[in-house]
Structure 1
Amino acid sequence: MPEIHVKIASSVGLHARPASVFVKAAAQHPGTVSIGRPGTDLVDARSMLSVLSLAIGHGEEVVLRTEGEGADKALTELSQLLVTDLDA
């Protein structure tokens, strides 16, 4: 179960448009994708409501974890989204 810690680059954090882009990308992967703050329970990254409920701001560190088929590929692709300003 690979995981990575990344800082959110989007200027508005993981809200509205950036969250939508991330959730849609997470839904494309066949395995499980989870996200959350370090030291807390992670939520389903395919759920817009769950991701928005985290209220993650710009520059905050998150844990991204993937499981199942294509887990490493998913981790790489999704972490790249998080370190990109998706609101630009």
Structure 2
Amino acid sequence: MPSRRVTITTHNGAHARPVAELVRLAQSHPAPVLLRTTSGAEVDLSSVLAVMDLALASGDEVVLETPRDADGVLDQMAAVLDPAS
């Protein structure tokens, strides 16, 4: 399964604006996209509330994965969480 390991570098972590962008990308993708934290929590990225409940902060590391990486959605999502890369 394609995946990307990302360290969050956005100034305020995964706050409303980047989470909304992640959900928009996930909802436009034909397959489910999952986000997993280092603690093992896993959420479907089609849910704003599920992602916000993780309270992801700058410096946290996550893994994004999907059965099919159509149109490079994982790279687009990684760029949302780590715009400096």
Sort the TM-score into its range (normalised by shorter chain): 0.7 to 0.9
Kindly indicate whether residue 83 of structure 2 is the aligned counterpart of residue 81 of structure 1. no
Residue aligning to 2:26: 26
1:1-88 aligned within 5 A: 1-68=1-68, 70=70, 73-84=72-83
Q: Give, as a single letter, the amino acid of the residue that structure 1 aligns with 2:79.
A: Q
Deviation at 1:69, TM superposition (A): 6.4
RMSD of the alignment, in Å?
A: 1.8
Return 38-47 or 56-65, whichever deviates more. Answer: 38-47
Cα distance in 2 for partners of 1:75, 1:21 equals 12
**4+ runs deviating over 4 angstroms:** none
- TM-score (norm. length: structure 1): 0.82
Which ranges in structure 1 are unaligned for 5 or more consecutive residues? none
Counting aligned pairs with the same residue, the percent is 36
Deviation at 1:26, TM superposition (A): 1.6
Q: Give, as a single letter, the amino acid of the residue that structure 2 aligns with 1:42.
A: E
- TM-score (norm. length: structure 2): 0.85
Aligned length: 84
